[in-house]
Amino acid sequence: MTNFNRPALADSIRTNGATPNPWWSNAVVYQIYPRSFQDSNGDGIGDLKGITSRLDYLADLGVDVLWLSPVYKSPQDDNGYDISDYQDIDPLFGTLEDMDELLAEAHKRGLKIVMDLVVNHTSDEHAWFEASKDKNDPHADWYWWRPAKPGHEPGTPGAEPNQWGSYFGGSAWEYVPERGEYFLHQYSKKQPDLNWENPAVRKAVYDMMNWWMDRGIDGFRMDVITQISKPIDANGKLPGEEGSLIADNPVGEEGYSSPFPFCSDGPRVDEFLAEMRREVFEGREGYMNVGEAPGVTPSRNEHITDPANKELDMLFLFDHVGVDQKPGGSKWDVVPFEVKNLRERLADQQSAVKQAGWASLFFCNHDQPRVVSRWGDDSTEEAREASAKAFALLLHMHRGTPYVYQGEELGMTNAHFTRLDQYRDLESLNSFRQRVEEAKVQGAESMMDALALISRDNARTPMQWDGSKYAGFTAPDAPVEPWISVNPNHAEINAAAEFDDPSSVYAFYKQLIALRHNDPVVAAGDFQLVDATGEHVYAFTRTLGEKTLLVMANLSGRDVDVPADCAALLEGGVNEQQIVISTQGAAHAVASLTNHELRDWEAVVIAL
């Protein structure tokens, strides 16, 4: 069990409702996307040895936990989220011995390692799936196999078992002549969904998880874990199948219905997660488990993360990162960002876990674009730094566990690609083909604009370590270019330039992380909205005992008045000693507040 060089929260302070408080209650997690973090061997792809070489940087930043996106053996159809062998490392990233070395070196520095785990689906090249193609094999029922629709020739259009479409475009069913049936894949056709109704599947998954825990990892981040339970009727039929007692939803503009309303937070999710807890985590110490939870509401988050229910420690909810997408529309139907929508959804998440449970705090990850480009302003260096700090302060002052995505601490921006051939992301490429070329529901120019704003590749360009040719991600004279283009702005935005600059975005993140470690109000104080209607300012208080902090963030590029409710709390005036942290410095904050205003992208925390 790794020991941290930071104070623990006293058990007299309530966090998620557990006693004693979990070690992660004042921790900060840093997500690493291995293929884009650090290339140690010049093949253009980041690897485990590269991560090990950068541990001192991460220790200096002050984070506590490193979450690694998948490094298991994989055909890399979806960049490793299609696993062909759960108990081996893909040669792209190194070896099991490299993983052991990373664990040992991280633990020496007080850093824990959490591995990404994908068990809603496997790769179609996994041995389990290969075996399941034989109806007489013991693995025959390990996936969702279904015959063609009655009266249709198998493998022809319209013969699919129901009308579900994949989230990555096209049908959610793929025909396999070898078996004479279709298998379900909510994602890529190379990512068949596991059948969690089968106890043998669950046992195999738990055995594998225990193998990794025994090897020394500190927990799992579980990909789309709330989609493992599918609704079936009394006859075992999925919605929309011929003769099913569960009706499907209408077909959408792309020609398919969506499995999402049925398979997200399905009927047996609680049962499966509680069983996983018993079979893998009970009796262990020092671990953390967090689940990616598409379709899960804040109230369900409270239930699943309530320690009394013994399911998961944390969930990633997604309602707040959909605020720039048209309600009821496609992910690619983007609308302007409005502060009120973000405030409403984050406040709902905070309120839901007021009595028990815990929140995960994030704006960026490997599936989300860079927040500074998405909702901030990266048009000038000054605006980029200011808006990056404003969103950082806002997020880190909420109650829960913050997640920093690699490069977020530098204020890294979107890729700003202008051509489709610059993208590598399966979802982006498939969606362009489906929406623009096949269904013709969106124009090419509009779709390219949407990709430039929210494509997953915006977060996947190489980490910007310095201003050299390949940003220090790989050697300038490496024989192979990085797997995806380096952002041209790496000459200005990079770790080397920011590391010793006290006014940099990096330095600001260090302050925020230290605050969570050292101030119990930041880690565990109650959350209360102060102004729920303002157009530009997101304001709330954090209170623990007699201490209250007021948080105000102007999320716009214009000067604005301090909201009336906030002004009332500051009626006696503010001095520099009351400024806990500010994006533009204590003196600047006091001057702004004296004028009853917040400057463009100014955010501040005040001790009342």
Mind listing the pLDDT tens digit for each residue in 309-356? 999 999 999 999 999 998 888 889 999 999 999 999 999 999 999 999
Non-local (6+) Cβ contacts of 572 within 8 A are: none
Answer yes or no: 223 catalytic.
Answer: yes
447 close to 437: Cβ distance less than 8 angstroms:
no
Distance CA 415, CA 298 (A): 32
Write down the residue that tokens 């279709």 correspond to.
Answer: 182
Answer yes or no: 292 catalytic.
Answer: yes
Question: Is residue 80 pLDDT above 60, yes or no?
Answer: yes
Q: What is the mean pLDDT of residues 386-405?
A: 98
Q: What is the pLDDT of residues 212-234, one digit of tens each?
A: 999 999 999 999 999 999 999 99
The structure tokens listed for 337 are 């960002």
Distance CA 177, CA 376 (A): 50
Could you say which of 430, 454, 478 is where a domain stops?
A: 454
Whether 28 is covered by a domain: the verdict is no
Q: What is the pLDDT of residues 233-248, one digit of tens each?
A: 999 999 999 999 999 9
Provide the pLDDT for residue 212: 98
Query: Has this prediction a pTM greater than 0.75?
Result: yes
Whether 157 is covered by a domain: the verdict is yes
For Cα atoms 509, 514, 519, give the angle at the middle one, nearest 5 degrees: 130
Distance CA 179, CA 133 (A): 5
Point out the catalytic residue in the list 292, 324, 408, 600: 292
Whether 149 is covered by a domain: the verdict is yes
Closest alpha carbon to 126 in 155, 87, 184: 87
Give me the CATH number covering residue 143.
Answer: 3.90.400.10
Write down the mean pLDDT value for the chain.
Answer: 96
Give me the CATH number covering residue 558.
Answer: 2.60.40.1180
Provide the pLDDT for residue 269: 98
Which residue type occupies 171?
S
Could you say which of 454, 474, 502 is where a domain stops?
A: 454
27 close to 61: Cβ distance less than 8 angstroms:
no
Question: Is residue 4 pLDDT above 80, yes or no?
Answer: no
Distance CA 498, CA 466 (A): 10
According to DSSP, the β-strands at 219-222 and 181-184 are: unpaired
Q: What is the pLDDT of residues 461-519, one digit of tens each?
A: 999 999 999 999 999 999 999 999 999 999 999 999 999 999 999 999 999 999 999 99
32 close to 51: Cβ distance less than 8 angstroms:
yes
375 close to 555: Cβ distance less than 8 angstroms:
yes
Non-local (6+) Cβ contacts of 289 within 8 A are: 219, 220, 221, 222, 281, 312, 313, 314
For Cα atoms 301, 272, 312, give the angle at the middle one, nearest 5 degrees: 40
Closest alpha carbon to 304 in 277, 343, 344: 277
Whether 570 is covered by a domain: the verdict is yes
316 close to 364: Cβ distance less than 8 angstroms:
no
Rg of the chain in Å (alpha carbons): 24
Return the SS3 of 50: helix
CA atoms within 13 A on the CB side of 236: 7
For Cα atoms 350, 356, 361, give the angle at the middle one, nearest 5 degrees: 35
Per the structure, the complete domain to which residue 446 belongs is given by: 418-454
Sort 582 into a burial class: Cβ within 10 Å, 0-12 / 13-18 / 19+.
buried
Confidence of residue 2 (pLDDT cuts 50, 70, 90): low
Return the SS3 of 415: coil
Q: What is the mean pLDDT of residues 100-117?
A: 97
Distance CA 262, CA 253 (A): 19
For Cα atoms 60, 465, 490, give the angle at the middle one, nearest 5 degrees: 135
What total number of domains does the chain contain?
Answer: 3
404 forms beta bridges with: 30
Could you say which of 184, 210, 228 is where a domain stops?
A: 184
Determine the straight-line distance between the first and last CA of the chain, rounded to whole angstroms. 38
Whether 51 is covered by a domain: the verdict is no
Confidence of residue 5 (pLDDT cuts 50, 70, 90): confident
Question: Is residue 129 pLDDT above 70, yes or no?
Answer: yes
87 close to 127: Cβ distance less than 8 angstroms:
no
Residue 50 phi, psi dihedral angles, 5° rounding: -65, -40
Closest alpha carbon to 459 in 396, 510, 405, 520: 405
Whether 354 is covered by a domain: the verdict is no
Whether 155 is covered by a domain: the verdict is yes
Question: Is residue 1 pLDDT above 70, yes or no?
Answer: no
Provide the pLDDT for residue 153: 95
Provide the pLDDT for residue 328: 80
Sort 10 into a burial class: Cβ within 10 Å, 0-12 / 13-18 / 19+.
exposed
Sort 230 into a burial class: Cβ within 10 Å, 0-12 / 13-18 / 19+.
buried
The structure tokens listed for 583 are 């994006």
Whether 90 is covered by a domain: the verdict is no
Q: What is the pLDDT of residues 299-321, one digit of tens each?
A: 999 999 999 999 999 999 999 99
Point out the catalytic residue in the list 77, 181, 223, 311: 223
Closest alpha carbon to 47 in 58, 55, 38: 38
Provide the pLDDT for residue 330: 85
Non-local (6+) Cβ contacts of 251 within 8 A are: 163, 257
Non-local (6+) Cβ contacts of 290 within 8 A are: 114, 219, 220, 221, 222, 312, 313, 314, 315, 316, 360
Output b/e per residue, 375-406; b: 16+ Cβ within 10 A.
bbbbeeeebbbbbbbbbbbbbbbbbbbbbbbb
Q: What is the pLDDT of residues 197-208, one digit of tens each?
A: 999 999 999 999
For Cα atoms 519, 604, 531, give the angle at the middle one, nearest 5 degrees: 100
Non-local (6+) Cβ contacts of 551 within 8 A are: 393, 394, 397, 539, 540, 541, 542, 603, 604, 605
